[in-house]
Amino acid sequence: MVEALLVNAVILLAVVLALWAISVRIDDVSFIDSFWGAGMGLMAITSWLQLERPGALAGLLLAMTCAWGFRLGIHLLRRWRREGEDQRYKRILRKDREKGRFAFAALTKVWLGQAVLLFLVSSPAQVGILASEAPAPVAGIAWAGIALYLVGIFFEWTGDWQLARFKADPSNEGKILDTGLWRYTRHPNYFGDACAWWGIWLVTASAGWEWALYTVAGPIFLTFTLTKWSGAALLESGMKKKRGDKYADYIARTSAFIPMPPKARG
């Protein structure tokens, strides 16, 4: 198990260094967001390829992780191609870019840190796959994990689709999306992310609770970052500045994360 995880870590580092070199050449690290999901799919694939006899549980975890990761990666890559450099990374690297230290800062402040967090968050998939040699069956709590994962996939994919349609309509400029899933939670895509990875963690738990205990930090950290750190908190800070009272009203009546019926307008 440890040797296999080390192989994964080396592969991840090699890919990250290659992508870092590309980001330096084009003077933009923003496409790293698309690698967040795709990189987790890559870690699932490299884990599965190291098994001599992949069991059904390993195949299930591979499919779950790749479906989530590559869909998200393609979605975010298309957004980057359409919208250009992300303002978050402009702020993070502005002073270093002005002082001619962009390459070093991009590596240390962005790529390497993201690689460590990517490896941590995807640990339930990696460990679950590596612990699922044949004839590991799909049974017990794995079915609860699949159900939670599917709920997450629905919220994330549908939420992203609704947001993309909303942004594509010029008449919505300056408005707040408060219909569809966005009527019940301010962040259906983030809620979906969390459900998907807690679902993957439960499937891993079906291979043995010891593996679940070793990897529970992954979904815990993901949930924290989606709700309190770089996800909802950062996004809402910017929305409050751009939309003012409109967004404040949306916050007042709409659940922050877990979908709930909206509150009546005062």
Whole-model pTM: value is 0.90
Percent of the chain with pLDDT over 90: 67
pLDDT at 231: 66
Percent of the chain with pLDDT over 70: 97
* Residue ranges covered by each domain of the chain: 1-135, 139-266
Which residues have a Cβ under 8 Å from the Cβ of 214 and sit 6 or more positions away? Answer: 123, 127
Average pLDDT rounded to a whole number, residues 110-117: 95
pLDDT at 256: 87
- DSSP for the chain, please give it: -HHHHHHHHHHHHHHHHHHHHHHHHHT--TTHHHHHHHHHHHHHHHHHHT-SSB-HHHHHHHHHHHHHHHHHHHHHHHHHHHH-S-HHHHHHHHHHHHTT-HHHHIIIIIIHHHHHHHHHHTHHHHHHHHT-BTT----THHHHHHHHHHHHHHHHHHHHHHHHHHHH-GGGTT----SGGGGT-S-HHHHHHHHHHHHHHHHHHTT-HHHHHHHTHHHHHHHHHHHTSTTHHHHHHHHHHHHTHHHHHHHHHS-SSS--PPPPP-
Residue 265 — very low, low, confident or very high, per pLDDT cuts 50/70/90?
low
Residue 108 — very low, low, confident or very high, per pLDDT cuts 50/70/90?
very high
Average pLDDT rounded to a whole number, residues 59-76: 96
Average pLDDT rounded to a whole number, residues 80-105: 89
Residue 136 — very low, low, confident or very high, per pLDDT cuts 50/70/90?
low
Average pLDDT rounded to a whole number, residues 51-74: 94
Give pLDDT tens digits for 166-194. 988 999 888 889 899 999 999 999 999 99
Average pLDDT rounded to a whole number, residues 122-132: 94
Give pLDDT tens digits for 192-243. 999 999 999 999 998 888 888 999 999 999 999 998 877 677 677 777 777 7
Give pLDDT tens digits for 16-27. 999 999 999 999
d(CA 182, CA 198): 21
Q: Report CA Rg, the chain.
A: 19
Residue 250 — very low, low, confident or very high, per pLDDT cuts 50/70/90?
confident
